[in-house]
Every structure is written in structure tokens, then in C-alpha cells.
Structure 1
Amino acid sequence: MERYDAVVIGAGHNGLTCACYLAKAGLRVKVLERRAAVGGAAASAEFHPGFRNSVAAYTVSLLQAKVIRDLRLSEHGLRIVERPLANFLPLENGYLKVGGGLQATQRELARFSARDAERLPHYWAVLGRVADALRELALQCPPNVGGGFIDLLRALKAGRLLKALDMEARRDFLFFFTRSAGELLEQWFESEGIRAAFGFDAVVGNYASPYHAGTAYVLLHHSFGEVNGKRGVWGHAIGGMGAISEALAAEARRHGVDIECNARVVRVAQGTVLLEDERKITARAVVANVNPKLLYLELVDRSSLPPEFVARMQRYKCASASFRMNVALSALPRFACHPEPGPHHASGIIMAPSLAYMDCAYLDARQDGISRSPIVEMVIQSTLDDTLAPRGAHVASLFCQHFAPEADWSLRKQEAVERIFDVIESHAPGFRASLIAYSALSPADLERDFGLVGGDIFHGALTLDQLWSARPLLGYADYRAPLDGLYLCGSGAHPGGGVTGAPGHNCAREVLRDLGRRFPG
């Protein structure tokens, strides 16, 4: 029987982050990964000869700068480049470019609304102020409701952060957590294009209409990141998202972490992990980088958990309604509204011209399982990274909404692919003719391949009842499970989804606290 101080289940980016900090503190650490390579959803792979790309997660912003520094990821080869523009939206009456600086975006927006251009700096200031508070909270351990003295201290620490905000900022903070993105954006702007540009962040990975309460928070959640010290921008990891995971794995191995792939865990008990090949590994701490529903309803014997905990976990919400594709192209898409090559090809290209369009996409999926006209974001990574495709050719990620997790994906997957391609072809005639090959992941594929229950890229919906002290459940927000010595370090813990490294960082701190070790960060 193998023995370690800590065993981490899942070599996704949060599992590797947690393992790095534990090993830096002097623990003997083992990481078990059921797939053939590290990274989980943050991986890169060849999907057609000569063409490779990020497999699931596809863009960088939320990765914590502290994690990058602490774990020396740049020294291990990680290089992140900024997009020249944040977004490009083909519209019925032209196009809209967002990014490249405040003045550039204002000039673009003024073509549609002088009022919106004038209000943009104030909107970004409000968003930035609330995002700054969220950024501070991201690396804190939430207090457990009804907990002890340490939870009181954590609550006071968070309270001091909010107290430092003026009253208007506190009101804005409350608005973002409770209202809809549609309500927020319609109060600020009158032009459909800018509402859609900002509203996309409210529905990406979120099975909801932009008019649903709480979607303003999902918009905010996508706004607290940074790239190379620039806040609120998005970038690309050279080599794809797998470069992040490979850098984390290199740092983990430097500290002696034993990473074993093709090692499927089938049962978790107190201090013990059972593998599919019937090996047992014991550890003082078992740390799970998996969806909470997968951990508590499948890997842990339910009889060892409180019945009310199991009942609540069965109702834990998991559904992103996302469909993820990679495409190999013989040429750049030529958008009818802006056919010439330019910086817009290196942005996040959002094919969803209005909030009403996004609302219809959601309602279609609820009624029929698949949106008639899906929301599509295209990111052509090869415009920023020549390692991904042969010279003159390109690769692009497609992240698409809404596709009901409960649909029969064994029958409807190709139908979804064709609807996505129809949307792109309507904006970029000739797209299909340039298509060399593609890969596609339905919600069912995301669950099967990456353990994303319900295809949920966030390991659980980012709704008010599943955030902060309620993530994943009230009473268990401090990364500790109801089973002694078991911890949760994945995106099902605070602060939630995205390639952040924050849950792994925070969980490692709590494990080390319990084991009487100093946190090395």
C-alpha cells in the first residue's frame, strides 16, 4: 500500500496548483489523473494532423497573478499574449470592435450612440471597482455559516473589504449579485451591439437567458481577471491552455510531486483512495479536484455522509448548456461586414448581435434541446500563435450556447454542429468551403471526457445560492468535506469556475493549516 502526506485526485490546473503548494510546504504528494495527460479541461491536443489547439478551456484572463508568480510558471515556459481587441461583433448594420483602449472603444461605440460612448468610462469604472473587490475575495477562504471563531474572523475580514467601499459601490456590488445582465446593460446603454458585447459574458457557460436574475454576477465573474498586469483583458497561452497545466506540472515535479496518469480513482474513503486497478493509496489528506456531485455522490460512500448533505448535493445545480468545437481552416474567415484581415480576427468574435438573440437561443434550448440560432464565440488562436497550425492555415475555437444537457446527444450531435456552422456561414460566407476538419464536444462529451457533470464548465452554476459561503453548500465553504481529511480543491469550491488556480491555492492553505504546516505563498 502506497502512503503519502497528501493525495490529489485530478491533475487539472487546480489539482496541480494545490499539489505545488503542498509540496512546497514539505509534504510528500501524489497526484492521480484518469486521463492520459495532465490538464483536465485545460489541455492542448492535436485534433487533425498538423493542427492542435486547446481542448476545452480556450482563453486566459482569470488565472491568478499570484499563482503565476508563486509557482514560477513563466520560468517553466508559460507565455501569455494579449489579444489586440477584446471582441468583434458582426451586426446587421455593420460591426462593433471592443478593446484596444478606452478611446478606441468609444470611437467605435460613437458610430452607434454618442450617449453610450460618453457613458462607457463610467460603466467600466463601476465594473472595475466591484471587480477589484471580487478579486480580493477570490483568494480568501469564505466563512462557514454557523462556524466557529476562525469563521468569525473570516467574516470580519470580508466585511472590512466591503466596508472600505463607498455606499454607491456597495449598492453596485449588491446589484451585480442579484440582478440580470439584461437589466444592468439596458440601464447603461441604448445600442444593441454594446449590450450584446458585454452580455455575452453573462451567458458563456451559463444555461440562462441574459434576463435571468443573477446573470449580472456571471458577467462580473468574467471581469476580475488580468493578463500580464493589465486588468480586465483577455489573452492566449502560447501552445494553448495545456501550456498552463504543463508549467504547473513542471513546478510540481520540481518539488517532488509524483504525478501518475491513466490512474482512475473509483472510491474515496477517510484517508484512503482506491484505484480501478485495485491499488490502495493512503494519505493524511485526500484532496479532490472533481465536481462536487461526482465526489460526493459517486466516489464517496453516501452512507458515510450526513443524509441532509447528500440530499442537498443531489440538488446541486450543474448545467452549462455549452458545446465546444475546434476547427481547422485553410484560410481566415471573411466576415461580410468586415472582410479584410485585421486585429478583429485575433479577438473573441461574438456571433450574437443582441440580448434578444441570446434570450431566444436559451428559450429554444429549453423547448427543443438545441438553439435554432446558437450563440457562437470564435477565437482564432493561430492569429496569435504560429505553433498551432501549418503556415497559411488556421485553427479556431468555437464556444457555443445553448445546448440542453438532457438532450440525446448520441442522436443530435451532428444537428448541433450544422446549426453552429450555419450561424458562422451567415456572417462569414465561404466558411464551410475553408473547413478542413473539426472536433466537437457536446455536453455529454464534456461530462464523459472531463467529469464535468451536466457538461458544467464551472463545476456548478454560479448562482447566488452556490457562491461564497454557499459553495458548494452552506457549512462546507472552507474546502473541507463532511468526511475528516477530505478536501475539495476544484471549481466547485470558492471562487468558482474558470482557469483561475484560486480554489487550488486556497484549499492548499486550509490543508496545511490542518496539518500544522506554514503556507508557502
Structure 2
Amino acid sequence: MTRGDVVIVGGGHNGLVAAAYLAQAGRRVQVLERLDHVGGAAISAHAFDGVDARLSRYSYLVSLLPPRILADLGARVRLARRQYSSYTPDPRTGGRTGLLIGPRSTFDAIGAGDDEAGFTEFYRHCRAVTSRLWPTLTEPLRTRSALRRDIDDAGWQSMIERPIAEAITAAVGDDLVRGVMATDALIGTFARMDDESLRQNVCFLYHLIGGGTGDWDVPIGGMGAVTGALAAAATGFGAEIVTGAEVYAIDPDGEVRYRHGDTEHRVGAEWVLANVTPTVLAGLLGEDAPGSAPGAQLKVNLMLRRLPRLRDETVSAEQAFGGTFHINEALTQLDDAYRRAAAGWVPDPLPCEIYCHSLADPTILSDELRQSGAHTLTVFGLHTPHDLMVSGTPERMRDTLTSAALTSLNSVLAEPIQDVVMEDAAGRLCIEAKTTADLQDALGMTAGNIFHGALSWPFAEDDEELTTPAQRWGVATRHDRILLCGSGSRRGGAVSGIGGHNAAMALLQG
């Protein structure tokens, strides 16, 4: 059995960040990745046969990746700011009017002009919280009371103490405006907006905390460019990355067993960093699985010959699709969708939002596609909990959910989206859906949860034990020599690298 300093189980972006920091510090690091490539959910792919476009197949936007991490590692990642924040067709007019938020906001167009001031004030209070919390995500955990003393009271109460629905409904009166504000609390999270558990608040906080401002940017070159830069940094500092290495057991004493091809290997290390879900880690340790929140999202990737025409003639397609395009996401629609999904039915209409990455980053398309006017489109469906997927066959439910997403989109377009979808080399429509079941099967994300489990507050409770470096950095497990380094760590979730950074800091600064 060989022995090194650190073995990292899982070559997703967090594992690469940890590997780069540790190798930079002179540690011998080996990364073991089950798939034939690194990156996990942060990859680009040619999803459609014969179509030269690099789609961000799973994760798609960046907000929570601190520039400090990239600078520390010398990782060259370029991000593009989207011109508009969002566009939301009004379902009350069949999409003939809508709310555009950006350089030119159109609250008056939907009869909500009186809400603009309340909307602005609401986010001012939110930024008073997020701007203070953001820098702490790459520091040892602070306690709730220590942070509370330094943060705006109104923002803290609305985001941390009470269901976020209360602050939203108090700030604005229009149902559509309320829904636009509410969606950040429901990305990948199955909850009511007024849920007393506040799990929707935690999701809301993470979607607004990035950079202290909540801006979500498009990575130039797609998500694969992020992975490529981090992998290059890790190997450049001397980390060894082994793909096709399926870890099947971990011992608390630091021994890791894995298969590579037809050969079984044993490797020992002073430290094992787990860039897998807590449930997967428990299975590798032979322990009972912890409770895990199921995922609740659908992602549909499309390749279009051109952007579709809108029913709203006051905005261009480039404006509408230049940010987040909300579909059937008024607050009452979100509530109705939750109730229907909780009862075991696919929401009708399905709340969705759309991202057109090729508008912000045309480099993901070949010259020929760019010149033809083609575009990528990502449709993200809410309130599609994993329980729906396991209620039938995965293939049938994938088709059902895909149909629901496209039907929802068509309800606000002037032409069916299918009429502008490109065909691949075999004449098939360029439509690819990824469900929670697909994420579990392909990426090992337990129950398809994109956050590797329930998100937690980015601070420690006052009575929480913070005696060890791993506890102070939010990466502790039941075993001293095994640390979490992925999205399942205390401040993990989304493409941030924070889980990998904090695990490395716990090891190096311990």
C-alpha cells in the first residue's frame, strides 16, 4: 500500500481547489475521480451530435466563487456580466406585457409602478446582510450572535429570523413582483415561501450572498473553463489526478480502496478529503446514511436556430433573454406549484426560468453557429422534487417533466419553442433534460440535490462546539482524519470552491 499526505475522493471543482491549495503548500496530494474526466457538475459538453456548441451541461452560472481563490491559485477564469437582471412575462396578460429589470426597468408596464421603491429598499436591506457575510465564507466560522451585532437589523430579521415571504409581501404588493423576488429561495429547494423551518431563507441567502451583491455571471468558455483552470492549477502545483478511479471503501485510519480498470488499489494518507455527498461518504465508511434533503429541479438544455419571438412587443428577444427569463413564477403560482408537487403531481403550469448563455458568451458556439444566429437555452424547472422521479420510471418522468417545461415556456411565447429548436446530425431535436435521478446516477448527487444535501446557515450557532480546526472551518466529520471538502461542507453549495478552500485551510492552519 502506498502512502501520501492527502487523498481527495472526488474530482469536482471543490476537490480541485483543495488539491491546488495543498499541493501549493508542498503536500503530496492524490485526487481520485470515478468518471473519466474531472469537474463533476462544472463541465462543458457537446451535448448534441454534430452541433459544435459547448453547453454547460449541469451547473451554468457563477456567483459564489471568490476572486481570492482564483488569485491565490493563479487560475485564469473570466466571467461575463449579463446586461439585464431579469425579464418576466405577465401570465395575467398571456405574456403580452412583462417586467424587465435592469438598466431600464418596467414596473409600470405591469401596473406595479408603486412597487419599484419597495423592491429597491428590500434589496438594500438584503445587501446590508450579504455584504457583511460574504467575506466570512472563507474564514473560520463566526457565531450567530457575533455576526448579529454587526448587521442591519431589518435585513437580519427578514433574511435570518422570519420566513422570507413575510418581508417580500410587506415590501411589494404585486403578485408577479413578489414571485420574481421569491424564486431565489426555491432554486433546488422544495419548500413553501412561508415555511417555518426557514430552509427557503437559507437558499435565498446563498443566492444573494455572492460577492456581497448577488450577481450571477456567465463563465467565458462555459463551466468547463472553470474546471480546466482549477485542474491546471492543481497539477501545476504537483497534485496527481487519477480519473476512472472508483473509490469503494474508506477506513477512518486513512486507508482508501479503489478500482482502476481491472485492478484494485489501496492507498493510505494522513488526511482524506471527501468531495462527495455526506450520504455517499457514509456508504464508503460502512456507516448509516445521514438524513438528506432531496433535490427539486429540472434542467433542460436546448439548441436554437434563433431566439423565439415574444408576445410582448415592447422588449427585444435579446433584452428578454439577456438575464433570467422567469416563466409562470408569480408568488401564487409558486405556492400552487408547491402544493401540487407535494401531493405527487407535476405542477401545471411548471414554474421555470431560462438562461441564454450564448448572448453573454458567444465563444461557446462555433463561428458557423454564431453567424447563423443560433443560441443555446437552458430551462430550469422549480418544484420538481425527487419523489416525483421515483414515483414512475425515470425515462417516462423525464419526458413528462420536459413536456411540462416546454409547455410552460410556450404559454408566454408568440411561437412554439419547438419551431426554432435545431436538429442534430441524426435529425433529432436538440433537447436534453437532466432530472434529479440523472444527477444521482451520473454524478453521485444523493437524491439529485445540487447542494449535496440541505443548505445550512454560513455561521455557527452560539452553543456549537468549535474546538478543532475542522469544526472551526465547517468541514468536520465524525472522524478526525476525514474532512468534508465539497458542497456538503458547512458553507458549500453551488460552484464556489469554498468547500475545497476551507478544507485545505483546516488542514494547513490546524
TM-score band w.r.t. shorter chain: 0.7 to 0.9
Which piece of structure 1 moves more, 117-126 or 252-261? 117-126
Q: Aligned partners of 1:244 and 1:457: how far apart in 2?
A: 18
Name the residue aligned to 1:307. Answer: none
How much does 1:372 deviate?
Answer: 2.4
2:268 is equivalent to residue 282 of structure 1: yes
Which piece of structure 1 moves more, 180-189 or 386-395? 386-395
Residues 275 and 286 of structure 1: is their aligned pair in 2 closer, same or farther, counting only changes over 3 Å?
same
Per-residue CA deviations over 1:238-268 (Å, capped at 9, x if unaligned) read 1111111111011111101111111111111
Name the residue aligned to 1:164. Answer: 150
2:477 is equivalent to residue 502 of structure 1: no
Letter in 1 for 2:149: K
Name the residue aligned to 1:479. Answer: 475
Q: Aligned partners of 2:376 and 2:299: how far apart in 1?
A: 14
Is contact 1:90-1:335 (8 Å) kept?
A: no
Letter in 2 for 1:333: P
2:508 is equivalent to residue 512 of structure 1: yes
How much does 1:110 deviate?
Answer: 7.7
Letter in 2 for 1:320: G
Name the residue aligned to 1:383. Answer: 359
Per-residue CA deviations over 1:143-198 (Å, capped at 9, x if unaligned) read xxxxxxxxxxx54xx65443223xxx245324312432322210111122221111
Q: Aligned partners of 1:320 and 1:69: how far apart in 2?
A: 32
Is contact 1:110-1:116 (8 Å) kept?
A: no
Q: Aligned partners of 2:107 and 2:332: how far apart in 1?
A: 22
Letter in 2 for 1:211: D
Q: Aligned partners of 1:110 and 1:463: how far apart in 2?
A: 38
> What secondary structure is seen at the aligned counterpart in 1 of 2:488?
coil
How much does 1:380 deviate?
Answer: 0.9
Per-residue CA deviations over 1:410-450 (Å, capped at 9, x if unaligned) read 43211111111101111122311112211111111111111
Name the residue aligned to 1:264. Answer: 246
Is contact 1:326-1:396 (8 Å) kept?
A: yes
Is contact 1:370-1:404 (8 Å) kept?
A: no
Query: Segments of 4+ in structure 1 off by > 6 A?
Result: 473-476
Q: What pairs with 1:286-297 in structure 2 (closer than 5 Å)?
A: 286-296=272-282
Is contact 2:128-2:155 (8 Å) kept?
A: no
Letter in 1 for 2:498: A
How much does 1:108 deviate?
Answer: 3.7
Q: Aligned partners of 2:396 and 2:507: how far apart in 1?
A: 44
2:304 is equivalent to residue 319 of structure 1: no
> What secondary structure is seen at the aligned counterpart in 2 of 1:118?
helix
Is contact 2:456-2:491 (8 Å) kept?
A: no
Name the residue aligned to 2:425. Answer: none
Name the residue aligned to 1:189. Answer: 172
Name the residue aligned to 2:427. Answer: none
Q: Aligned partners of 1:463 and 1:283: how far apart in 2?
A: 29
How much does 1:474 deviate?
Answer: 7.7
Which piece of structure 1 moves more, 251-260 or 386-395? 386-395
> What secondary structure is seen at the aligned counterpart in 2 of 1:278?
strand
> What secondary structure is seen at the aligned counterpart in 1 of 2:405?
helix
Which piece of structure 1 moves more, 475-484 or 119-128? 475-484
2:47 is equivalent to residue 47 of structure 1: yes
Per-residue CA deviations over 1:186-211 (Å, capped at 9, x if unaligned) read 01111222211111101111011223
How much does 1:111 deviate?
Answer: 5.7
Letter in 2 for 1:500: S
Is contact 2:164-2:201 (8 Å) kept?
A: yes
What number of residue pairs does the alignment pair up? 473
Tell me which of 263, 284, 297 is aligned to 1:299: 284
2:317 is equivalent to residue 341 of structure 1: yes
How much does 1:343 deviate?
Answer: 2.5
> Unpaired runs of 5+ in structure 1?
143-153, 303-309, 515-521
Q: Aligned partners of 1:341 and 1:323: how far apart in 2?
A: 23
How much does 1:97 deviate?
Answer: 1.3
Tell me which of 372, 382, 401 is aligned to 1:416: 401
Tell me which of 214, 232, 239 is aligned to 1:250: 232
Residues 161 and 109 of structure 1: is their aligned pair in 2 closer, same or farther, counting only changes over 3 Å?
farther
> What secondary structure is seen at the aligned counterpart in 2 of 1:314?
coil
Identity of aligned residues (%): 29
> What secondary structure is seen at the aligned counterpart in 1 of 2:503?
helix
Residues 323 and 272 of structure 1: is their aligned pair in 2 closer, same or farther, counting only changes over 3 Å?
same
2:372 is equivalent to residue 396 of structure 1: no
How much does 1:82 deviate?
Answer: 0.2
Q: Aligned partners of 2:118 and 2:125: how far apart in 1?
A: 11
Residues 135 and 396 of structure 1: is their aligned pair in 2 closer, same or farther, counting only changes over 3 Å?
same
Per-residue CA deviations over 1:14-38 (Å, capped at 9, x if unaligned) read 1111111111111011111111211
How much does 1:395 deviate?
Answer: 1.0
Is contact 1:318-1:455 (8 Å) kept?
A: no
> What secondary structure is seen at the aligned counterpart in 2 of 1:62?
coil
Q: Aligned partners of 2:4 and 2:100: how far apart in 1?
A: 52
CA RMSD of aligned residues (A): 2.1
TM-score by length of 2: 0.88
Is contact 2:275-2:485 (8 Å) kept?
A: yes
Is contact 1:223-1:232 (8 Å) kept?
A: yes
